Every structure is written in structure tokens, then in C-alpha cells.
Chain A
Amino acid sequence: MADQGLTLKLDVAKVKSDFPIFSKSKYPKLVYLDSAATSQKPRSVIDSMSSYYETTHANVHRGVYSLAEDATRAFEDARIQSGRFVNAEHPSREIVFTKNATEAFNLLSNSLSVHYLKPGDSVVLTLMEHHANVVPWLMLKERLGINLKFMDIDQNGELILDDIDELLRDSKLLSLTMTSNVLGTVPPFKFLVEKAHEYGLLTILDAAQFAPHKKIDVIDIDADFLIFTGHKIFGPTGIGVLYGKQDLLESMPPFLGGGEMIRDVKIDGFTPNEIPWKFEAGTPPIAEAVGLKAGIEYLESLDYEAISEHETALLKYMIDSLQDTFAQDIAIHGPRNIEKRSGLVSFSLNEIHPHDIAQVLDEYSVCVRAGHHCAKPLMRHLCVSATTRASISCYNDFSDIDALIDGLKVVTKMFK
């Protein structure tokens, strides 16, 4: 019988073979469990960028020759692809390319500080934000005198929602992650955006960790702004994406000044370009945009449900294996309920320092992240100085988890 009606299974061996690093790096048995830091790149992304440089490269938006027009079209196609990726209503106008997600946050904190945020205004964050969504607001606190309020988390690493009305009332902005890069927690972001809108707040969602795993729909979530980065969704480094509702982007002043973002310049003033170029000063990351488009196409060529099914099974296997093998010696951070987490597992093992764990695992070519994960407010809250984090992507398989467990057995033996 044909496989009608069955969920499409992810062909992990095929997926893995699409990523040259697993056959070409000098580590023949590379076990890459650090995709939350950055994903590996499929052949199609690498090829798209070399092909662009070989056949299409020129500067964008200014040449009056066909080659420059080709480059401009490639760049703007990438914008439209990125807009469709998050289901933007106006993909060609609501997507701004930045250097990375961090720059997108800085763009927003700076631009919103001109007309929207005033001294004494409150910005609501959560305790599990990446530094990229903390430090720009702390800088604004110093520069402008805004207040920051942090939503607390409970023992399971889930947001405490009891005092949400209190937090949002009289605040101006809510900015939160869609997936914690330390805990893997997926907070109820849609509910929170809705709640924030009831109190008239603007909302920013950090989708950097969410985008590689689940479909984003900005219309359904009704987010005012949403940020993700290219290199975590199989694209190149050097390109981040800011989605913003058209009317909001239009009402905001530019961030960086220079070429491209400008319509007219006189010696006593300037007129900015229209959106989205108003926010893109200087020559943009053109080849990176082309690579990002290929990354999105690769991700979308795999069925989201199939990815989710595979990754959930991997996560469950990882958590069960860690608990079965190390029992009371291991503390797994983040939600117990697997439905409430995505992509990664952070843990503490027997008070062995994560740097020691990671360095021993490295001898088995198992790559994990050890440290504070650019989330020091959260680390303080968890009362740990560092954790070990194993994060997964669609190219990981069960043998990768087995290699992690085997490596950790050596670690516990060594540091007993």
C-alpha cells in the first residue's frame, strides 16, 4: 500500500548528507550538538553564494546596468523570501536586513528611543532573555532613563504569569524570546502579545532559537516586530532579519546613517529613503541575503511537521537517556513537559564544571556549548555559573545522542 495518510518521515541520513561538514571536516565522526549557537550549512546554501559571486555580483540599488539589476533582484528576492518565511503581509516592505539579530535589537532600541520611549517609561523583558535582548535596553536605561521590568520564571524554567497585568499596565514595550537559548522553554508568546496589546504596548519577539524548528506566522501572532538570524537557519553569518509592521516602520526614524538609507542629502539636512531601505545604511550583505534565501528554501523543503516529530523524538531520547544513565547526578534545566521546550537541553552534572565536560567530550568529537550562553541574568537566577548545553537540528540522529551519553560516562568516571 502507498504511504498515503502517513506523516512524512524525515530522512535524516539524506539530510545529513546534504551538509558537507559531516564528510569534509577533519573530524570524521563529528557529533555536532551546538546548533543553537549556529547551524551547519547545506550544500545548496554554500553553492548559492559562490554562484552569486561567480555570476551575479554588483552593488545593489544604484547601477544603471544589467548586472547590477540582477544583483538587486537577487537581494530583493531574498527579502521577499524572508517575508514569506514569517508570513508577513507585505514581504517587500516589512523586512529589514541587519548584520545579525543583535543589531536588529539595537536598531529597535535606538529608533524607538527617539519618539516612542520617554524617560520613565517601562520596558518589560523576561529573566530568560539573551544578552542581545537585555543589553540594548540597559544602554537605553542609562542613556534615556527608562525602567526595565523582568518577568520571573518558576522552578521549571517557565514564565510566571500571575502578575502579568501588573507588569504590563503602564508599560510601553514587551520584548521576549520565543525559545530560551538556555532552557529551551517556549513561552506562551501569542498569549503575551495579545495581553500586551490590551494594555497598548508594542511587542518584539526574539525568534532566533524558534525559527530553525517551527513555522512562524507574524499575522497569527500579531507581533509588531520579530527578529531572527540567518546563520541559525542554515544561512550564512553576517545577516539578521527584522520584521516590522509597515505602519510602525514608516513612523520610525532611521538607525544608522549613510548610503542606501537616504533619499536626499543637503549640507543642512537629509531625507531618508522609504522602508525598508531607510534602515539599511551602506552596502548591505548581498551574498549573505542570497545564502539566507537558500537556507530558508532548504528548511522549507523539509516538512515542518516531520522536523518537529524527529526533533521531539530526539529531545525525548536525550532527556530520558541522561536521566536513566546519570539519575540523581544530573540536573536538567527547563520545562519537564517536552511540549513546552524546543531544540536543546541544558544540564548540570555532578558539580563537574561545564568547561571540563566540554573539553573531554571534544576528545570524542562531540561538540557542546559550555558557559553562560550570553544569558547571565538567567544564570544568576538558576544559581549556576555555567551549564552544559546540547542542542539539536534536523541533521542530528539518535547515534549523536548515544555519543553524547558515552562521552559523559567517561567524564563522570574521570572526575569522580
Chain B
Amino acid sequence: MTGLEDLYREIVLDHYRNPRNKGEINTPTAVRVEGFNPLCGDEIVVTLDLNPDGTLNIKIDGRGCSISQSSASLMSETIKGSQIKEARNKVTTFKNMMTIHENSLESSDDNETSFDIESLGELAALQGVVKFPVRIKCATLAWNTLLEGLDDLEKD
């Protein structure tokens, strides 16, 4: 195993063991969305609210594998304090990363994609540990759940 893979794994395990922003926001204006992956039983609960300055507050909860739970924790860190539009862009960036990654996993050659992995900071760790296409759903579960929450937030 390379040193980089070790580092990635440590990041994922750290967020899995000590999830950031864990819990639920209980303010009356908060929206609550549940995400579920019936294939492996991963569950994510995202609660979102807007601060007076228009930035997002977020908490996450749930249970499941290390990839799904660490992804939720990493997501909460990067989303917290963002504007809604900014948050949407981050979701798009992350999902693009996983899509490109999935395509490269499924094609037989190992050519590197042109994606700027360093711009993602710690989130890049997820790309580093997701070795099988089937687990990309675990990694994106929290993000899809967040998107639903953002929709609900903008509806209200």
C-alpha cells in the first residue's frame, strides 16, 4: 500500500470514528431529510438550516459503512457556513469527481483522469478508498440527501 493510500484511509477512518457535526438541528425552521441505500442498509439523516447571514448550518446523523459515514462527516465540514449556491456547486464538484472516478474504475486501463483532485482537500480521500463502483453509492448517499435538503430549504 502506498503512503498516500494510508493517509487517505486514516482520514476516512478518523471521520468514521469521530464524525463531525453529528446530530440533528432542532430549530423550527430546520429541514430534515433521510437518505437510504437499500442495497447495503446505509442511512444518512441531514438536517439543514439557514443562519441569519444566509449561510448554512448542517448536522448529520446515520449509520452504515465507513465510506458512507465518513463522506457525510466530510461533507458537513465543507458545507457548513456555505451559501446555498456555493453548497450546490460543491455537490456538483464532488459528484463529478465520483463519476469520473467510476468511469475510470470501470474501464480496464488505469489512466489518470484530468480532475484536479488536490482542490478537494480531505474529500479526495474518498476517491482514494473507493475501489469498487458498487461503493460509490455509499460515498454519494450523503450528497444526494443534501441536495434534497437544499431543495426543501429553497421551497420554504
Q: List residues of chain A with CB under 8 Å of any chain B CB.
A: 353-356, 359, 362-363, 370-372, 384-386, 414-415
Contact of B1 among A356, A363, A384, A385 (CB under 8 A): A363
20 more CB-based (< 8 A) A-B contacts, given A355-B138, A356-B65, A372-B39: A353-B40, A353-B64, A353-B65, A353-B66, A354-B40, A354-B65, A355-B65, A355-B67, A355-B135, A359-B131, A359-B132, A359-B135, A363-B1, A371-B39, A385-B41, A385-B64, A386-B41, A414-B13, A415-B17, A415-B66
A351, closest chain B residue (CB): B63
Across chains A and B, the number of contacting residue pairs, with CB separation under 8 Å, is 38
Interface mask (B113-156 → A, CB under 8 Å = 1, otherwise 0):
00000000000000000011001001000000000000000000
Contacts of A353 in B (CB 8 A): 40, 42, 64-66
A359 partner residues in chain B, CB cutoff 8 A: 131-132, 135
Chain B, residues 27-41, CB within 8 Å of chain A (1/0): the string is: 000000000000111
Nearest residue (CB) in B for A385 is B41
- A140–B135 alpha-carbon span in the complex (Å): 33
Chain B nearest CB: distance from A327 CB in Å?
22
Question: Which residues does B use to contact A, with CB under 8 Å?
Answer: 1, 13, 16-17, 39-42, 64-67, 131-132, 135, 138
> In this complex, what residue of B is CB-closest to A359?
B131
Within the assembled complex, what's the spacing in Å between the Cα atoms of A411 and B124? 23
| Cβ-defined partner of B40 (8 Å) among A371, A414, A415 | A371
Give Cα distance in the complex from A414 to B17, angstroms: 10
User: In the assembled complex, which residues on chain A have CB atoms less than 8 Å from the CB atom of B17?
Assistant: 415
Q: Which of B40, B42, B64, B67 has the most CB of A within 10 A?
A: B40
Q: Are A386 and B40 in contact (CB under 8 A)?
A: yes
Min CB–CB distance A37 → chain B (angstroms): 14
Q: Which residue of B lies closest to A362 (CB)?
A: B131
Q: Which residue of B lies closest to A414 (CB)?
A: B13
Residues of A within 8 A of B40 (CB): 353-355, 370-372, 385-386
With CB as the reference atom, state the residue of chain B lying closest to A358: B132
Measured between alpha carbons, how far is A385 from B37 in the docked complex, in Å?
10
Give A370's nearest chain B residue, CB to CB: B40
* Residues B41 and A356 in contact, CB atoms below 8 Å apart: no
Q: 7 A-B Cβ contacts within 8 A?
A: A353-B40, A354-B65, A359-B135, A371-B40, A385-B64, A386-B40, A386-B41
Closest to B41 in A: A385
A375 to chain B, nearest CB (A): 13
Q: Closest 9 interchain pairs by CB?
A: A385-B41, A353-B65, A355-B65, A356-B66, A356-B65, A386-B40, A386-B41, A355-B40, A353-B64
The answer for the CA separation of A371 and B65 in the assembled complex, in Å, is 11
**How far does the Cβ of B110 sit from chain A's closest Cβ, in whole Å?**
14
Query: How far apart are the CA atoms of A323 and B1 in the complex, in Å?
Result: 30
Residues on A with C-beta less than 8 A from B65 are 353-356
Q: Please report the C-alpha to C-alpha distance between residue A354 and residue B42 in the assembled complex, in whole angstroms.
A: 11
Note all chain B residues with C-beta closer than 8 A to A415: 13, 16-17, 66
